Amino acid sequence: MVSLPGSPATSLLRFLFLGLTTLASPSRAQVELHVPAGLTKLRAVEGAEVVLPAWYTLQGDQASTKPKPWEVPTVIWFLLEGKNMNMTQVLAHISGVTSSKPGASLVYPMPSRNVSLRLQGLQEKDSGPYLCSVNLQDSQGSVRGHSSKTLELNVLVPPAPPSCRLRGVPHVGTNVTLSCQSPRSKPAAQYQWVRSPPSSQVFFAPVLDAIRGSLNLKNLSTSMSGVYICKAHNEVGSAQCNVTLKVSTGPEATVVAGAVVGTMVGLGLLVGLVLLYQRRGKALEEPANDIKEDAIAPRTLPWPKGSDTISKNGTLSSVTSARALRPPQGPTRPGALSPTPSLSSQVLPSPRLPRTDGAHPQPISPSAGGVSSSALSRMGAVPVMVPAQSQAGSLV
């Protein structure tokens, strides 16, 4: 509320001066302002209207409600704002002229001893103490009296439409919280949660917090699905909102995470199988290249410098050294291995022929350490003539 435009400032100052003078002179205080007993504190709803009742009387004339012909009242209503009680003019009737802020008016036209104030289209900011001041003069301008009273107005605000929210994931076995909050309410709203039909249900503490507007639902089941309604209310009004709770049987987030993990595990197994297959393929392709450091090398048979026995098709079928036909020269070394030709590969050993230059080879009887001819015949050996080798290295 602001000061009234066009109000006569000089008259206002004169009114205040006369009022203070009247208060200082009790003999002249013949005016008494009244308000209803027990109605010093009024309450109204935002958007509505209210009447602040007040009237004045003269001493010795309490019953009369009509002013005397000589009465000239000056009436001003103020709103005291803030902690410092700053006075903001709401309405003024001075010298027969009434001015007021929008929505403010006198209930009865002047002149009248009833100086009640009507306020329309109330807002929350219109709350506060209202001061009514009446200064009475006669037709000659003499001050006959002054009086004032204070009324307190409290404008209440019904709850604004609240907003409903669902916090948590509504899966079977989990917990969720339904919240409800109204952005504006005077006094502060309280909240009530109910479940709409066909499964009607009313909730109370401790699952319901009526001050904060929260409803805690624990260990959800599919039967708890439905529409939940929150009602915000105070002493002058109410508003509501609703939220739909749908409890699912399987946690979707868990399913998605499981699918991702399963895919990653499958890819890992596939890569492992590919690597294993490649490794086994290399092992099969290069078996001979594997060298064992701790393996025992096979014993190499000594090849004699003498004549060799060669089969007719040009392959080496058996080799008989002249040393094998000789008797052993000394004791056999323990653990020494002597190769023994198989029956299929044994051939008739030829007696060693003496080397002669240009002479035909002559058969020589085997030594005592050799094998007899009859034994060789029984074994299926075939006699082979081995040419002698000259000193020049050519066969003779």
Q: Quick: pLDDT tens for 94-152.
A: 988 999 999 999 999 988 999 999 999 999 999 999 999 999 888 777 788 899 999 99
Quick one: 184 and 143 in the same domain? no
Quick one: 35 and 133 in the same domain? yes
Is residue 266 classed as helix, strand or coil in its secondary structure? helix
Quick one: 146 and 236 in the same domain? no
pLDDT score for 25: 39
CA distance linking residue 257 with residue 116, whole number of Å? 73
Asked whether residue 382 is assigned to any structural domain, the reply reads no
Quick one: 187 and 237 in the same domain? yes
Residues in the chain with pLDDT values less than 70? 1-29, 62-64, 250-261, 282-373, 375-377, 380-396
Asked whether residue 115 is assigned to any structural domain, the reply reads yes
- Amino acid found at 105: S
pLDDT score for 130: 97
Quick one: 135 and 35 in the same domain? yes
Last residue of a domain, one of 132, 156, 180: 156
CA distance linking residue 113 with residue 66, whole number of Å? 6
Quick one: 150 and 173 in the same domain? no
pLDDT score for 378: 72
Chain mean position to CA 215: 21
**pLDDT tens profile 143-194:** 888 999 999 999 999 999 999 999 999 999 999 999 999 999 999 999 999 9
Asked whether residue 55 is assigned to any structural domain, the reply reads yes
226: how many CB neighbours lie within 10 A of its CB? 17
Quick one: 168 and 68 in the same domain? no
Cβ pair 366, 325 in contact under 8 A: yes
The domain in which residue 44 lies consists of: 31-156
Last residue of a domain, one of 193, 215, 245: 245
pLDDT score for 390: 53
Quick one: 149 and 172 in the same domain? no
The residue written with tokens 């005592």 in the block is 368
Asked whether residue 176 is assigned to any structural domain, the reply reads yes
CA distance linking residue 39 with residue 47, whole number of Å? 21
The residue written with tokens 């499958």 in the block is 266
Q: Which residues, 6 or more positions from 217, have their beta carbon under 8 angstroms from its beta carbon?
A: 175, 176, 177, 178, 207, 224, 245
166 is written with which tokens? 């669902």
- Nearest alpha-carbon partner for 91 in 122, 116, 111, 60: 116
Quick one: 171 and 239 in the same domain? yes
Quick one: 146 and 200 in the same domain? no
93: how many CB neighbours lie within 10 A of its CB? 21
Asked whether residue 71 is assigned to any structural domain, the reply reads yes
The total of structural domains in the chain comes to 2
Q: Length of the chain, please?
A: 396
pLDDT score for 271: 85
Quick one: 130 and 234 in the same domain? no
The residue written with tokens 């079928």 in the block is 317
CA distance linking residue 65 with residue 70, whole number of Å? 14
Last residue of a domain, one of 207, 227, 245: 245
Cβ pair 167, 179 in contact under 8 A: yes
Q: Tell me the CATH number at 207.
A: 2.60.40.10
pLDDT score for 268: 82
pLDDT score for 24: 37
Burial status of residue 23 (CB atoms within 10 A of its CB: 0-12, 13-18, 19 or more): middle
Measuring CA to CA, how many Å separate 58 from each of 31, 72, 237, 336? 5, 13, 43, 155
- Cα torsion angle, 101, 103, 104, 109, sign: positive
CA distance linking residue 278 with residue 271, whole number of Å? 11
Quick one: 139 and 182 in the same domain? no
pLDDT score for 270: 85
Asked whether residue 112 is assigned to any structural domain, the reply reads yes
pLDDT score for 27: 39
Q: Which residues, 6 or more positions from 251, have their beta carbon under 8 angstroms from its beta carbon?
A: 169, 171, 174
Cβ pair 211, 162 in contact under 8 A: no
- Amino acid found at 218: K
